[in-house]
Structure 1
Amino acid sequence: MDRKLNALFLFIAVIVFITAANTTQQWNILLGVLLAAFFSLGAFVFNGLSLDGMFSAIVIGTFAFGLGGWELAVVLLLFFISSVVISDRSKSRDQNISQSVRRGGLQVWANGFWVVLFLIGVAILNTQIFLIGAIAAIATAAADTWATELASRNPGSTYLITNFKKVNPGTDGGVSVKGTTSAIFAAAMISGVSVYVFSLHFSVFLIIFVAAFLGCLIDSYLGALFQQNKRSVMLPVLNFEINFSNNLVNAIATGIGGLLAITSKMFFA
């Protein structure tokens, strides 16, 4: 699936490049390809990404660098680097888990799919409201990653988000004080840096922060509802069964976080 997404969005990137309004935009996209390839290759060399993950990151990075500019590139790199550092320290404490924390292509797309989609919206519709959605999607992914990784270290009491019954740490849909605090900090970090580099109003910080935190909670809720109970959904018309993997739950949650930010910006700011 990740390779199909790579091919699809590479094709879209070519179309965006060809139809770019001016030469400056085309140069930005070309520069985006080079920078994305450079950082993705570095992540591969230092065990941050698998080979498929590297190619997926190049595609996503091309859109981030090329359409979001250096500002969004800073935000995306902050999320990725901090997540790798946190994951590395968390995994190194468990002798039963491989020291490698390479992220695969589907993991990369689970966090980056909506970012790319919102940036395409920025390019086509020429409106910055979708940029806020892209930032909120990144902030949601960061909040979920920090909550998961940091809560794995001496998590303390963990409760299922649907009924608040005590469960074992690491249970899908489980929440703890440490995990929730980590999510709040990550959402605030991404929101704060974004507002600074893009010179946005403080109200936008609140919109992104709240949307990201709610998106993280929705991720936990979906995990408890579907992953914990091994439930699937059958689409009635297509007669197709959807199994809720962790990557799918992450993708849904980041999308909701982004859409919440866009909706809030439209109605409350």
Structure 2
Amino acid sequence: MTGNVRRAAAYALVGSLALVVPLLAGRGLGPTTTAGVAALPFLLIGLGALYVVDEGPLFDLLARPGDYEAGRLFGLAAFAFACAGLALLVTLEQFGLPPAAFVASVAVLVVGNVVAEAVRFRATEPVVVTAVFAVGGLLAGIGGFLAVGTILDGRAALPVAAFLAATGALGAALLRTALFKRDDPLVLVSVALLLWGFIELGVAPSGVRVGVGIGVSVLLGYVAFALGTASLTGMLTGVLLALLAIVLGGYGWFALLITFFGLGGLASKFRYEEKRERGIAEENEGARGGGNVLANAAVALVAVVLFAASARVGVPPGLFRYAFAGSVAAAMADTFSSEIGGLFDDPRLITTLQRVEPGTDGAITWQGQVAGVLGAAVIAGIAAVFFDLTPVPTAVIVVGGFAGTIADSLLGATLEGSLLGNESVNLLATLAGAVTSAGLVLGLGLV
């Protein structure tokens, strides 16, 4: 067993103390006493890591590389204090973090780290290590949800546990690829808050929907990474979004998303060398990073979450369906417009119609605009099939997609580079598509 595996296992042992929190429920200790008892073990471990253990075999077991220079176990202390803070959020009534969210988030992180370090001993490829982390975290998260359910009331819904554990595992894997190892406490807190939000939604998906969602999203991630259409962070972002689309929305929502990911990725690869010569090619051989994927799909993600929570917010669910479709149509239209339109000569700036160099922010070609409309129409056609739409609502989605690509060009010509980056422009363009589609159907009385 390597030192990294032993250290990860020791952290897992510390994390197992999270089970103390649900065990304290119903003991009649009072909220203040319960909070103190729940957080005390983690606080003692954190203080011991900072002020007691500074050398010797135990220090060597628990120390991260950066801890040796400082002579203190800052990594363990930060992890223990993060656990203490979450324990207080669970036990103090004014916060109300679900115990299952706390236990499952700890289980996802610590068990995922153990199996990832064990595999890293033989396979160092980041995609393999990350996949193993996600699988180990998924199984541990399911175990955490089921254990808390058993402790509290003897009941546990496996489909819900599997969906939440998969969401937590993918979220943790994504954050770990974007952050440093020393940021595990941030990953822990972020996953706990993510699970808290989804628990509050009260979703109750079927086992079939969850199984299909996990299986299909994993397959999507493998294909995207194997074909080089997404980086590791881009692949994880896409997998998480696909899972949420299937479970919270439905298969039609996923169909729209996968169409954008697939055709958008291929469009980025289309005549890539020629685009490179023109200076308009995407970086990383056209592979989309996590920021790019999230910028194009964040509005769609918000729409599907609000769709799942529509009964709580008092808004017709159909409105979010159009917002989702409009945002994806805008992302597709913008991708087609830039990736195909950039191959043609004599682009013009959208604000002045003056000729500019290819790749200039805000530059358009008529061929690119036609390609953008066709891209939006593809998404609208798929939405019409899965959402059983008549011609007028279908046309509304096309209009939303085209509005998004126009917004992208206008923002590119005016604000990109000075106030906004490319990903921010993409995000606002998809928001324009969503607002346009949702606003039109609302104004036309279609929902």
Q: Please state which band the TM-score falls in when normalised by the shorter chain.
A: 0.7 to 0.9
Higher strand share goes to which structure? Answer: 1
Residues 1:249 and 1:94: Cα distance change in structure 2 (over 3 Å)? closer
Structure with greater Cα Rg: 2
Residues 1:180 and 1:95: Cα distance change in structure 2 (over 3 Å)? closer
Residues 1:78 and 1:21: Cα distance change in structure 2 (over 3 Å)? closer
Q: Which whole-Å deviations, capped at 9, do the CAs of 1:111-154 have from their partners, x for residues lacking one?
A: 1100010011100014121011011100000000000000122x
Whole-angstrom distance in 1 between the partners of 2:241 and 2:440: 25
Give the secondary structure class of the aligned counterpart of 1:81: helix
User: Partner amino acid for 2:422?
Assistant: N
Q: Which residue of 1 aligns with 2:306?
A: 121
Q: Which residue of 2 aligns with 1:134?
A: 324
Higher relative contact order (CA 8 A, sep 6+): 1
CA contact (8 A) 1:172 1:220 kept: yes
Whole-angstrom distance in 1 between the partners of 2:427 and 2:383: 21
Aligned runs of 1:40-119 on 2, under 5 Å?
A: 40-94=221-275, 100-119=285-304
Moved more, 78-87 or 108-117: 78-87
Identity of aligned residues (%): 24
CA contact (8 A) 2:348 2:365 kept: yes
Whole-angstrom distance in 1 between the partners of 2:400 and 2:432: 8
Whole-angstrom distance in 1 between the partners of 2:200 and 2:310: 16
Whole-angstrom distance in 2 between the partners of 1:256 and 1:248: 12
CA contact (8 A) 1:30 1:66 kept: no
Give the secondary structure class of the aligned counterpart of 2:348: strand
Q: Which residue of 2 aligns with 1:238?
A: none
Q: Which whole-Å deviations, capped at 9, do the CAs of 1:195-240 have from their partners, x for residues lacking one?
A: 112211221111111111011101000000012xx322xxxxxxxx
Deviation at 1:193, TM superposition (A): 1.5
CA contact (8 A) 2:203 2:248 kept: no
Q: Which residue of 1 aligns with 2:433?
A: 257
Residues 1:174 and 1:181: Cα distance change in structure 2 (over 3 Å)? same
Residues 1:166 and 1:9: Cα distance change in structure 2 (over 3 Å)? farther
Q: Which residue of 2 aligns with 1:237?
A: none
Deviation at 1:61, TM superposition (A): 1.1
CA contact (8 A) 1:211 1:257 kept: yes
Q: Which whole-Å deviations, capped at 9, do the CAs of 1:155-189 have from their partners, x for residues lacking one?
A: 13211111111111221101111111110111111
Whole-angstrom distance in 2 between the partners of 1:29 and 1:17: 15
Give the secondary structure class of the aligned counterpart of 2:271: helix
Q: Which runs of 5+ in 2 are unaligned?
A: 1-173, 179-186, 312-316
Whole-angstrom distance in 2 between the partners of 1:13 and 1:48: 29
User: Partner amino acid for 1:231?
Assistant: S
How many residue pairs match? The answer is 252
Whole-angstrom distance in 1 between the partners of 2:365 and 2:275: 20
Residues 1:218 and 1:10: Cα distance change in structure 2 (over 3 Å)? farther
Give the secondary structure class of the aligned counterpart of 1:168: coil
Residues 1:86 and 1:19: Cα distance change in structure 2 (over 3 Å)? closer
CA contact (8 A) 1:111 1:254 kept: yes
Residues 1:255 and 1:9: Cα distance change in structure 2 (over 3 Å)? farther
Higher helix share goes to which structure? Answer: 2
**With structure 2 as the length reference, what TM-score do the two structures score?**
0.53
Residues 1:10 and 1:102: Cα distance change in structure 2 (over 3 Å)? farther
Give the secondary structure class of the aligned counterpart of 1:100: helix
Aligned runs of 1:181-192 on 2, under 5 Å?
A: 181-192=370-381
CA contact (8 A) 1:29 1:67 kept: no
CA RMSD of aligned residues (A): 2.4
